[in-house]
Amino acid sequence: MLNDYLPILIMVGAVVGFGIVNLVISELLGAKRRVVGKGQAYECGLAPKGDSRMRISIHFYLVAVLFILFDVESLLLLPWAISAKSLTAAGVGGTVFAEVTAFVVVLGLGLAYVWRKGGLTWDR
Supply the CATH number for residue 110's domain.
Answer: 1.20.58
pLDDT(14) > 80: yes
**Containing structural domain, residue 6:** 2-116
Tell me the average pLDDT of the chain: 83
Compute CA 88 distance to the chain's CA centroid, rounded to the nearest angstrom. Answer: 31
DSSP class of residue 55?
-
What total of structural domains would you count in the chain? 1
Return the sign of the alpha-carbon dihedral for residues 18, 20, 23, 27. Answer: negative
Q: Identify whether 109 is part of a domain.
A: yes
What band does 123 get if pLDDT is binned at 50, 70 and 90? low
pLDDT digits (tens, 9 = 90+) for 30-88: 877 777 777 777 767 776 677 777 777 777 888 888 888 888 888 888 888 888 888 88
pTM for the model:
0.50
Q: Identify whether 123 is part of a domain.
A: no
d(CA 77, CA 103): 9
Q: Identify whether 124 is part of a domain.
A: no
